[in-house]
Structure 1
Amino acid sequence: MMQLREAVLSEWERRARSAIAEAGSLPHPLLINTMPTMYANLAQALSPAHARADGEGNTVASEHGGERARLTNYHPQSVVQEYQLLRWTIFDVLGAHQLVLDQRESGIVNAYIDRAIREAVAAYALVQSALRERFVAALTHDLRNPLTTANVAAELIRQDAESPRLKDLAERILEQHGRMDRMIQDLLDSVVFQSGERLRLRLSRFDLGDLVVEVCRQSIAAYGPRMEFPGGCAEGWWDREALKRALENLVGNAVKYGDAEAPIHLSLNVHDERVQMKVHNSGPPIPEEQMESVFQVFRRTEAAREGAQQGWGIGLPYVRSVAESHGGSIGVDSGAERGTTFAIDIPLDARPFQNAPTL
Structure 2
Amino acid sequence: MLAVRHLVVARWENHVRTALENASKLAHPILVNTIPAFYDNIAQSLTPNYPRATAVDGSTLASEHGGERARLTAYDHETLIREYQLLRKVIYDVMISEGIPLTRADILTIDAGIDTGIQEAVGAFAMVNNSLRERFAAALTHDLRGPLSATSSALELILMLNDLGKVKQLAAKALDSVWRMDGMITELLSTMAFHSGERLTLQLEQFDINAVIKEVQVGASVKGSNIVLASGSPIVGWWDRAALTRAVENLVSNALKYGRPRGPVTIRAAEFDERLQLSVHNEGDPIPVEEQECIFQMYRRTDNARRQQGWGIGLPYVRAVAESHGGSIVLDSHAERGTTLTIDIPLDGRAHGGAPTVA
Q: Same fold (TM over 0.5)?
A: yes
Structure 2: distance between partners of 1:87 and 1:9: 22
Match of 1:100 among 102, 115, 123: 102
Instruction: Number of aligned residue pairs: give it.
Output: 292
TM-score normalised by L of structure 1: 0.64
SS at match of 1:238: strand
Going from structure 1 to structure 2, the CA distance change for 1:310 and 1:131 (only over 3 Å counts) comes to closer
Q: Give the match for residue 257 of structure 1.
A: 258
Superposed, 1:12-91 pairs within 5 Å as: 12-14=55-57, 16-18=59-61, 20-21=63-64, 76=77, 79=81
Alignment RMSD (CA, Å): 5.0
Structure 2: distance between partners of 1:133 and 1:336: 32
Q: Which amino acid aligns with 2:215?
A: E
Residues 155-189 of structure 1 show CA distances to partners (whole Å, capped at 9, x for unaligned) of 45358376999987886665455334322221111
Contact 1:154 1:174 in 2 (8 A): no
Q: Give the match for residue 316 of structure 1.
A: 315
SS at match of 2:284: coil
Q: Give the match for residue 17 of structure 2.
A: none
Contact 1:129 1:195 in 2 (8 A): no
Structure 2: distance between partners of 1:193 and 1:338: 31
Structure 2: distance between partners of 1:128 and 1:20: 10
With 217-226 and 207-216 compared, the bigger mean Cα shift is at 217-226
Residues 87-130 of structure 1 show CA distances to partners (whole Å, capped at 9, x for unaligned) of 79999xxxxxx98359xx98xx99xx89x98x999999999999
User: Does 2:272 match 1:271?
Assistant: yes
Q: Which amino acid aligns with 1:190?
A: T
C-alpha displacement of 1:269: 0.6
Q: Give the match for residue 180 of structure 2.
A: 179
Going from structure 1 to structure 2, the CA distance change for 1:199 and 1:89 (only over 3 Å counts) comes to closer
Q: Which amino acid aligns with 2:346?
A: P
Going from structure 1 to structure 2, the CA distance change for 1:290 and 1:133 (only over 3 Å counts) comes to closer
With 249-258 and 139-148 compared, the bigger mean Cα shift is at 139-148
Going from structure 1 to structure 2, the CA distance change for 1:352 and 1:291 (only over 3 Å counts) comes to same
Contact 2:328 2:344 in 1 (8 A): yes
With 240-249 and 148-157 compared, the bigger mean Cα shift is at 148-157
Contact 1:16 1:82 in 2 (8 A): no
User: Does 2:54 match 1:11?
Assistant: yes
Structure 1: distance between partners of 2:88 and 2:57: 11
Q: Give the match for residue 30 of structure 1.
A: none
TM-score normalised by L of structure 2: 0.64
User: Does 2:190 match 1:189?
Assistant: yes
Q: Which amino acid aligns with 1:222?
A: K
Structure 2: distance between partners of 1:130 and 1:196: 20
Contact 2:216 2:245 in 1 (8 A): yes
SS at match of 1:228: strand
Superposed, 1:271-290 pairs within 5 Å as: 271-290=272-291
Contact 1:204 1:240 in 2 (8 A): yes
Q: Give the match for residue 157 of structure 1.
A: 157
Structure 2: distance between partners of 1:292 and 1:180: 28
Q: Which amino acid aligns with 1:233?
A: P
C-alpha displacement of 1:132: 9.6
Bigger-Rg structure (1/2): 1
C-alpha displacement of 1:262: 1.3
Q: Which amino acid aligns with 2:291?
A: Q
Going from structure 1 to structure 2, the CA distance change for 1:9 and 1:190 (only over 3 Å counts) comes to farther
Residues 1-21 of structure 1 show CA distances to partners (whole Å, capped at 9, x for unaligned) of xxx9xx999423227524642
Structure 2: distance between partners of 1:126 and 1:19: 13
Structure 2: distance between partners of 1:334 and 1:142: 30
Q: Which amino acid aligns with 2:280?
A: V
Unaligned runs of 5+ in 1: 25-67, 92-97
SS at match of 1:254: helix
SS at match of 1:334: strand
Structure 2: distance between partners of 1:195 and 1:224: 34
Contact 2:210 2:269 in 1 (8 A): yes
Structure 2: distance between partners of 1:228 and 1:296: 28
Once the two structures are aligned, what percentage of the paired residues are identical? 40
Going from structure 1 to structure 2, the CA distance change for 1:171 and 1:332 (only over 3 Å counts) comes to same
Q: Give the match for residue 338 of structure 2.
A: 339
Structure 1: distance between partners of 2:195 and 2:248: 20
Q: Which amino acid aligns with 1:352?
A: A
Contact 1:203 1:351 in 2 (8 A): yes
